[in-house]
Structure 1
Amino acid sequence: MNKEWSEQNKRMQSLIKKADTFNEGKDVLFELRNDLMNTMLSFKDDLDREDYDAMPFMNADGYHSKNIAYSLWHIFRIEDIVANTLVCGDEEILFSGKYQSRINSPIITTGNELVKGQISDFTKQLDIDELYSYIADVKKCTENIIRNLTFNDLKIKVMNERREELKALSVVSSDENAVWLIDYWCNKDLRGLIQMPFSRHWIMHTEACLRIKNKLK
């Protein structure tokens, strides 16, 4: 893991454990997310459209076996689902912003169910500029939610009715590679969700994207 990002993440986790440093911890989280977002935005200058679909490590184990467009979609679909459906009980940005049609996505799920060639078949259909608009809107929304959290909120777990709403939306595939996410998220408190998916999940997939980019360039 990138040493600087790892240290930021560790520092944030330490700070949000205490009430008197909680707000400082949120600031560190936002700094980390801004650094990671800047890396994602840099791809727009460094990559051609077809590079977003390239899978140079298709047969490997790990996040780098996907492609960059998939990774962007996946990071922010998960964040949109968790922040809005599970934490707030609000409409997801994908739906309120009519982003499925804008991005031209054939799916509304996280994409966990897709494997190998299915991934590039999916991402070749995406409007990358609209995908970047989506990720910016999701990031802004999530950070507004986090900004309004109090220290005591961190112990709150996902309400059961929101779990049921999540299932009803069909935004997590019933495929075995995806359906486990529901229990994974719903068994966490808000502090756990700040780690996964609002920080560490970003790091892992951004590092995978950099590995793909470096292989291509």
Structure 2
Amino acid sequence: MDNELIELCSKIKEEISNENTFHLGIENLLLLRKQLFNAILQLKAELCRDDFNAMPFIGKDGFHSKTIAYSIWHIFRIEDIVSHTLINGDVQIFFSENFQERIGSPIITTGNELVKQRIGDFSEKLDLEALYQYSTKVKANTEFMLKNLVFADLKRSFTIEDKLRLESLCVVSQSDNAKWLIDYWCGEDLKGLILMPFSKHWMAHIYACMLIRNKLYSK
């Protein structure tokens, strides 16, 4: 990942931690997300549909062992779940706008439970245009929420009721690869969620997508 983006991510953490620079930190977070989302859009412009299902690093350790289509799904399912169900307490875009049917996904979860070729098989089923539409809507809704935060909101913590609400929707698998997610999210305050699902999580998976793209076209 570009060193400038890594430095910007560190800068955001410092800025949102200080009431005097909080709003500047949010502005920089939106800038970071714009640059990262542009990278996702660039993949769509550059690659053919089959490239989004490719697994050149299958069997390796790391996010690059998955597919680009899966990575996009995973980033924005997590963001939709965290932003709407956990933070806002309202309905996920995935459900309110019928994106399971539109995308053609056999699952409603984050996808953490999928491994190896199951990831490739899952990726082939997805309508890429609808997946990009979903990603765009989730991003926009999260950013509307971020723009309306105040510094005091960062200390907001989450309750057992929040955890039970997440569990009731069955949007996180009970597999060992996934079931820890709800405890992790509910164990963070709002600041922690801003710094992981809404920024660092993007960076990690988009970097993995770049590794896949580069491997596919390295010859």
Question: Which residue number corresponds to residue 113 of structure 2?
Answer: 113
Question: Which residue number corresponds to residue 89 of structure 2?
Answer: 89
* Post-superposition offset of 1:5: 1.1
Query: TM-score under structure 1 normalisation?
Result: 0.99
1:42 and 1:9 mapped to 2: Cα distance?
A: 21
Letter in 1 for 2:39: T
Question: Which residue number corresponds to residue 184 of structure 2?
Answer: 184
**1:78 aligned onto 2:78:** yes
* Post-superposition offset of 1:2: 2.7
2:42 and 2:97 mapped to 1: Cα distance?
A: 24
Question: Which residue number corresponds to residue 29 of structure 2?
Answer: 29
Structure 2 residues not aligned, in runs of 5+: none
**1:140 aligned onto 2:140:** yes
* Post-superposition offset of 1:142: 0.5
2:25 and 2:160 mapped to 1: Cα distance?
A: 28
Query: TM-score under structure 2 normalisation?
Result: 0.98
2:130 and 2:197 mapped to 1: Cα distance?
A: 22
1:63 and 1:167 mapped to 2: Cα distance?
A: 25
* Post-superposition offset of 1:163: 1.1
Instruction: Give CA-to-partner distance per residue, 1:184-203, whole Å, 9 cap, x none.
Output: 10000000000111000000
* Post-superposition offset of 1:4: 1.2
Question: Which residue number corresponds to residue 15 of structure 2?
Answer: 15
Instruction: Give CA-to-partner distance per residue, 1:136-175, whole Å, 9 cap, x none.
Output: 0000011111111110000001232121110000000000
The percentage of counterpart residues that share the same residue type is 52
1:151 and 1:177 mapped to 2: Cα distance?
A: 33
1:4 and 1:24 mapped to 2: Cα distance?
A: 17
Question: Which residue number corresponds to residue 170 of structure 1?
Answer: 170
Question: Which residue number corresponds to residue 203 of structure 1?
Answer: 203
Question: Which residue number corresponds to residue 45 of structure 2?
Answer: 45
Letter in 1 for 2:165: E
Letter in 1 for 2:158: V
Letter in 2 for 1:76: F
- For these two proteins, the number of residue pairs brought into alignment is 217
**1:155 aligned onto 2:141:** no
1:212 and 1:196 mapped to 2: Cα distance?
A: 22
Instruction: Give CA-to-partner distance per residue, 1:24-76, whole Å, 9 cap, x none.
Output: 00000000000000000001111000000000000110000000000000000
> Over aligned residue pairs, what C-alpha RMSD do you find?
0.7
Deviant stretches of 4+, over 4 Å? none
1:201 and 1:49 mapped to 2: Cα distance?
A: 24
Structure 1 residues not aligned, in runs of 5+: none
